[in-house]
Amino acid sequence: MYRAPVEDIAFTLKHVAGMKSGLDAGAFGDLGEDLVDAVLGEAGRFATEEVAPLYKIGDEHGAVLKDAAVTTPPGWKELYRRWIDGGWNALSGPEEYGGQALPTMLGVAALEMWNSAAMAFGIGPTLTMGAVEALDKHASEDLKAKYLEKLVSGEWMGTMNLTEPQAGSDLAALRARAEPAGDGTYRIFGQKIFITYGEHDFTDNIIHLVLARLPDAPAGTRGISLFLVPKFFVNDDGSLGGRNDVFCSGLEHKLGIHASPTCTMIYGDGFQGARPGAIGWLIGEENKGLACMFTMMNNARLCVGMQGVAVAEAATQKAIAYANERRQGKAAGYVGAGMAPIVHHPDVQRNLLTMKALTQTARAISYCCAHAIDMTRVSDGDEAAHWRDRANLLTPLAKAFSTDVGVEVASLGLQVHGGMGFIEETGAAALYRDARIAPIYEGTNGIQAIDLVTRKLPLGGGEHVHGYIAELKASADQVRTSNRDGFGRTADALDAALGDLTQATAFLQKLSADGRTDQALAGATPYLRLISLAAGGAYLARGALADQGRTALCRFFAENLLGEARALKERVIDGAESLAAAGKTLISA
Amino acid sequence: MYRAPVEDIAFTLKHVAGMKSGLDAGAFGDLGEDLVDAVLGEAGRFATEEVAPLYKIGDEHGAVLKDAAVTTPPGWKELYRRWIDGGWNALSGPEEYGGQALPTMLGVAALEMWNSAAMAFGIGPTLTMGAVEALDKHASEDLKAKYLEKLVSGEWMGTMNLTEPQAGSDLAALRARAEPAGDGTYRIFGQKIFITYGEHDFTDNIIHLVLARLPDAPAGTRGISLFLVPKFFVNDDGSLGGRNDVFCSGLEHKLGIHASPTCTMIYGDGFQGARPGAIGWLIGEENKGLACMFTMMNNARLCVGMQGVAVAEAATQKAIAYANERRQGKAAGYVGAGMAPIVHHPDVQRNLLTMKALTQTARAISYCCAHAIDMTRVSDGDEAAHWRDRANLLTPLAKAFSTDVGVEVASLGLQVHGGMGFIEETGAAALYRDARIAPIYEGTNGIQAIDLVTRKLPLGGGEHVHGYIAELKASADQVRTSNRDGFGRTADALDAALGDLTQATAFLQKLSADGRTDQALAGATPYLRLISLAAGGAYLARGALADQGRTALCRFFAENLLGEARALKERVIDGAESLAAAGKTLISA
């Protein structure tokens, strides 16, 4: 079973993602390494001892809907209670409302551990934290006063209500409507689908954040507003009042994360005889809802990226443990009696090392993204702008690369288990099932790649990304000057990959400048993979430079996985024409 | 829902895999193109209209065990009956026992269609056909007379009993035992696991082929014998007698192929008060069981490869259909009203074209393998030896590459569906689940790669593979001399990939000659992918040369997917040292 890799996480935060220098420079106020270690250690203990044991029952039992009420799997409600009692929901929440305001880096590190232990558990609080952030930044003081404290503590949970059957990736197609009631509130009508933890028994109240259109709002995304719709009304003394006209009409039967209720939510249909119209309060300005929601979504994208890292870590641990137990055949390197543990077979080692290296690269990228978010908060002026650009650049990498890695690593992990991997009891299959949603929700990975190419490469007049590549190159240079034998051809491999990255970047920037967007979009996904692999390689090198024990894995990555970079560059530069030509044949008459 | 791609299949058989020239040369006796088309058309109709509609209930209901009897999902028993009544089980069976003795090419083409329609259905008869082949080649005339006719017709089904809890990939560890009873029969004792269709309600009798050890047999694989153990004894008049002492004690709860019962079989435990000891008959010679079983396994490996092709085809069809229906966002190429069908987005096209191209390459490789098997049968002397080598060379490619492709394509297909892909009702998730077993059973793909490098590269004194590469190169040359604009840089890409393949091949052959097997094993999996991609590219080119309409997809493959070849070559040549160094760190103290 999963054991939180606290040391690995702490190392990556401090020595790869930049937390150590931040701490040393006093960037995070009083926060010191002792507290960081204590928080990570305790989170690791909770994830390992409390969350992980409930994974299996969660997967097998799932969430159950009866009479518009959802029951979570046995023990999960109590787990959530212990979890918020431990203060975990409040970790990075605003101090003003009872949060501990710890850096995002610590928040996502803890989040990784909850998600490794049980992804269906980890996804719930992610939505609450997103709601906290959106309210904190955009809501009126009244709304903040009424809702934030209990959302920060986790006594209530939050949800994000975007998707409708016809409006998934394209929110312009949204139809849910909001009518001003004349008393400052609005009446909300419509159906939302795929609402994670839209209904459940963890908390007494659920605070829905809902996108809807006002009457006469402009068409498209400029006519969308954001509303707060509580399940139960909240009296001025904070006690709960009557039931709002919102209810869960169905749960999806999903491939994975069975314990996480994925709800169809009906707003304003006269639930239980109520006067139709769910009562909602506007967050931010009318018709500016999408901007408010993006506050949540950027955060959520990094959080979903952590799910990719998390599943990859859990799958890697499980596969390494199995490979050390299971004995089959003879292996040249094994001198013991009888059959060799399969971990001695080179082909099994190749799978396990690929899993380990990909997991660590995805983790490093995601933590670096969190670091940039933290630095944005503690700096100002040009420096803040620099870190904001960095966070924006790394968000699609953290989301898409990490979740692709989650799927790939879970699949390799299942493979290492042989026939046992296909049997549900083993648990490898459950990770393979759970992992598969993360490349889809919070913006599909294809949309992340498009975001990267069309919105992130132009940051800083197109210079930000080149500055980033130069930083990565500095790590490659350090590898070269280290003259450490164990690095093998790492420096050459990094240089080659970073050279490919530079070329592909300049090429895509030129296409965009020339207005050839469609050609750039054709290369978006290979480009996202290319920059992620090159960055990941440099981050592994940074880790190895700080800790010699990490050299071998860094070299394995450089010499076995980084070679893909060149083919990716070629796809970016030379792939679009043939894609367009062949793509036409896919379209039905 | 799945529609059998009969035209595509017929085209690949005839113009890529070599059936046309075989037919024209009269290699297959009376068999003409008319009959080939008729068989394919009728198989396609049956798969589309009869099998595919029962996929979903099979997945949802699964096989159920009660009192040692397994019930298949509603309608499946009747489906099987209609299927054997159509003569489909007998398609490539020996004529002497009622089979139609049609080429393996036709058999695997039909098999692809059954498996696309429902993989859990397609896997059952695969085992029966394997049993037919093993009996036909190795059994005594008495056994053949008693069992073959009904196995060929499908009135009875066959099974393969190899795996035991401690003996999966490594059959040397096998413990099931067989004691001579003194009357020419044997008493079999032991437990077998993962027995596909080990027990079911399709047929009145089930003929188990079981590996076991005789008393005092040599240790390891040289002490294994093969036995025929019927579920019910067969009287001399062909009627069924009493029940044998073999029963199903459990069904696995699997990730996918739910309708296929995966059984734990208990031999010789005194089932229902029987005198303990399942009665078995020796097939072939004592202690030569593994050779007999390999007859079945080679055939089964190609058949499992077809499952990879089959799932990839089904996933591709489903994704293309969905992408033409689902509308989201705007696309540069779309001039219609409202949101564009997502098939117009370049990133979606990239996914779909990748799926389509990989499916077609895997199909071409697998059909070429079947062609080689057929040519072995209709030729003799050096020519037969040549084709035998070719079939042996291509078998690990057909098995491992195709089943890897099955998983990759099913995963991409799910992704194209966005959020709907994660919902079980859509059906994309079921393909992702089903696909995952194929890289594991019948020898994991890692073992296929080892087989390729250690047993297949040395064929013909190491020359056979180079002759094969030269044939592939001839297709690349034809692309170049065709001067067809639509090919773009296809010829260059093929030449580069084939050059990489030649280098990697020579390198691995040299390693083996030098006795550095472990280093060769480290590169086995990347090598298998390399040769498969290069071969697949050449086969797509062969298709495009025969049919101009196939040029665009061939070019897409060459310019977008074939670039991976160089990185794979580098892994083969340069990857082993770092793998060995890092691999050590995986081993528990």
* Final residue before a domain boundary, out of B130, B153, B176: B153
Which pLDDT belongs to residue A182?
A: 96
β-strands B240-243, B232-234: how paired? Answer: antiparallel
Q: Are residues B82 and B174 in the same domain?
A: no
Determine whether the interchain pair A407/B411 forms a contact, defined as Cβ–Cβ distance below 8 Å. Answer: yes
Residues B170 and B233 in one domain: yes
Check CB contact of B160 with chain A, cutoff 8 Å. no
Structure confidence at residue A155 (pLDDT): 98
Q: How far is A344 from chain B (nearest CA, A)?
A: 7
**Residue A33 placed within a domain:** no
Among chain B residues, the shortest Cα distance to A522 is held by B346
Cross-chain Cβ contact B170/A339 below 8 Å? yes
Q: State whether B13 and B134 are in the same domain.
A: yes
Cα within 13 Å of Cα(A327), Cβ side: 11
B289, containing H or E segment: helix B289-325
Number of H helices, E strands in chain B: 21, 12
Identify the H or E element spanning A365.
helix A346-378
Residue B210 belongs to domain with CATH number: 2.40.110.20
Tell me the mean pLDDT in the region A77-99: 97
Cβ-Cβ contacts under 8 Å, A193 against chain B: 419
- Confidence band of A274 (pLDDT split at 50, 70, 90): confident
Q: Is residue B375 one of the residues assigned to a domain?
A: no
Amino acid present at B198: G
Chain A residues with beta carbon closer than 8 angstroms to that of B572: none
Residue A263 CB contacts under 8 Å (≥ 6 apart), including other chains: A65, A70, A195, A196, A197, A198, A199, A248, A250, A251, A252
CATH value at residue B56: 1.10.540.10
CB within 8 Å: B563 and A555: no
Catalytic residue among A112, A313, A408, A442: A442
Q: Do B130 and B179 fall into the same domain?
A: no
Tell me, what's the pLDDT at A248? 98
Residue of A nearest to B357 (CA): A582
Helix (H, G, I), strand (E, B) or coil at A279: strand
Task: State how far residue B356 is from chain A, nearest Cα, in angstroms.
Answer: 10
User: Which residue, B129, B153, B177, sits at the end of a domain?
Assistant: B153
Q: Which chain A residue shows the shortest CA-CA distance from B569?
A: A563
Average pLDDT, rounded, for chain A: 96
Same domain, B451 and B571: yes
Q: Which of the four pLDDT bands, split at 50, 70 and 90, describes residue A332?
A: confident
Answer yes or no: do B510 and B460 share one domain.
yes
> What's phi and psi for B575, nearest 5 deg?
-90, -20
A247-256 pLDDT per residue, tens: 999 999 999 9
Residue B237's Cβ-count burial label (10 Å; 0-12, 13-18, 19+) is exposed
Pairing of strands B186-196, B278-283: antiparallel
- Does B122 lie in the same domain as B35? yes
Q: Which of B8, B161, B559 to mutate to test the interface with A (most CBs of A within 10 A)?
A: B559
For residue B294, the model assigns a pLDDT of: 82
Show which of residues 337-396 on chain A sit within 8 Å of chain B, judged by CB atoms. Answer: 339, 341, 343-353, 356
Question: For residue A576, is it within any domain?
Answer: yes
The answer to whether residue B252 neighbours chain A at the CB level (below 8 Å) is yes
Residue B110's identity, in one-letter code, is: A
Within-domain flag for B194 = yes
Q: CB A173 to CB B339 under 8 A?
A: yes
Q: What is the pLDDT of residues A169-191, one digit of tens each?
A: 899 999 999 999 999 999 999 99
Q: How confident is the model at residue B589, as a pLDDT?
A: 75
List, as own/partner pairs, every contact residues A374-381 make where C-beta atoms lie below 8 angstroms and the sequence separation is at least 24, other chains included.
A374/A22, A374/A27, A374/A28, A374/A103, A374/A104, A374/A105, A375/A18, A375/A22, A375/A27, A378/A22, A378/A27, A378/A28, A379/A27
Q: Is A441 on the interface with B (CB under 8 A)?
A: yes
> Model ipTM?
0.97
Nearest-Cα distance to chain A for B588, in Å, is: 6
Distance from CA of A100 to the nearest CA of B (A): 34
The pLDDT, as a whole number, for residue A326 is 97
Q: Domain containing B11: what range?
A: 6-63+72-139+147-153
Judge whether B471 counts as a catalytic residue: no
C-beta atoms of B567 and A571 within 8 A:
no
Sign, Cα dihedral of B9, B15, B16, B20: positive
Alpha helices in B483-587, H assignment, sequence order: 490-513, 517-522, 524-546, 551-556, 564-574, 576-583
Last residue of a domain, one of B288, B310, B338: B288
Indicate whether B121 and B173 sit together in one domain: no
Opening angle at CA B473, ends B467 and B478, nearest 5: 135
Q: How far is A238 from chain B (nearest CA, A)?
A: 37
Is B309 domain-assigned? no
Q: Which amino acid makes up residue A140?
A: S
Kindly give the confidence (pLDDT) of every residue in chain B, 589 residues in length, as a single tens digit, with 9 standing for 90 and above.
899 999 999 999 999 999 999 999 999 988 999 999 999 999 999 999 999 999 999 999 999 999 999 999 999 999 999 999 999 999 999 999 999 999 999 999 999 999 999 999 999 999 999 999 999 999 999 999 999 999 999 999 999 999 999 999 899 999 999 999 999 999 999 999 999 999 999 999 999 999 999 999 999 999 999 999 999 999 999 999 999 999 999 999 999 999 999 999 999 999 888 788 999 999 999 999 998 888 778 789 999 999 999 999 999 999 999 999 999 999 988 989 899 999 999 999 999 999 999 999 999 999 999 999 999 999 999 999 999 999 999 999 999 999 999 999 999 999 999 999 999 999 999 999 999 999 999 999 999 999 999 999 999 999 999 999 999 999 999 999 999 999 999 999 999 999 999 999 999 999 999 999 989 999 999 999 999 999 999 999 999 999 999 999 999 999 999 999 999 999 999 999 999 999 999 999 7
Chain B residues close to A440, C-beta within 8 Å? 415, 418-419, 421-422
Mutate to test the interface with B, among A349, A414, A572, A573 (most CBs of B within 10 A): A349
Q: Is residue A543 part of a domain?
A: yes
In this structure, the answer to whether residues B459 and B569 fall within a common structural domain is yes
Q: How far apart are CA A135 and CA B173, in angstroms?
A: 63
Q: Taking a C-beta distance cutoff of 8 angstroms, is the pair B490, B477 a contact?
A: no
Smallest Cα distance from A275 to chain B, Å: 32
List the 193-232 stretch of B: residues with Cβ below 8 A of A. 193-194
Interaxial angle between packed helices B524-546 and B464-482, expressed in degrees from 0 to 180 and rounded to the nearest 10: 40
The residue of chain A with its CA nearest to that of B356 is A586
β strands within B72-166, DSSP E: 157-161
pLDDT at B147: 98
The angle that helices A524-546 and B346-378 make with each other, rounded to 10 degrees, is 90
**Interface touch A552/B333, C-beta < 8 Å:** no
Q: Distance of CA B338 to CAs A140, B341, B575, Å?
A: 36, 9, 51
Domains identified in chain B, total number: 3
Q: DSSP string of A207-275? A: EEEEEEB-TTPPSGGGGBEEEEEESEEE-TTS-EEEE-SEEEEEE--BSS-TTS-EEEEEESS-GGGPP
Residue A532 lies in a domain: yes
Mean per-residue pLDDT for A12-29?
Answer: 94
Tell me: do B176 and B236 sit in the same domain.
Answer: yes
Q: Does A296 score more than 80 pLDDT? A: no
3-class secondary structure, A375: helix
Phi, psi (deg, nearest 5) at residue A235: -70, 165
What residues form DSSP beta bridges with B282? Answer: B227
Same domain, B478 and B562: yes
% of chain A residues with pLDDT over 70 = 100
Q: Is the minimum CB–CB distance between B547 and chain A shorter than 8 Å?
A: no
Lowest mean pLDDT segment, chosen from A191-205, A332-346, A545-559: A332-346
- The answer to the question of residue A462 being in a domain is yes
Residue A319 has pLDDT above 80, yes or no: yes
Contact A457, A505 (CB under 8 A): yes
Instruction: Kindly state the tokens that stand for B499.
Output: 């050059």
Tens-digit pLDDT profile for residues A504-522 = 999 999 999 999 998 999 9
Grouping H, G, I as helix, E, B as strand and the rest as coil, residue B75 is coil
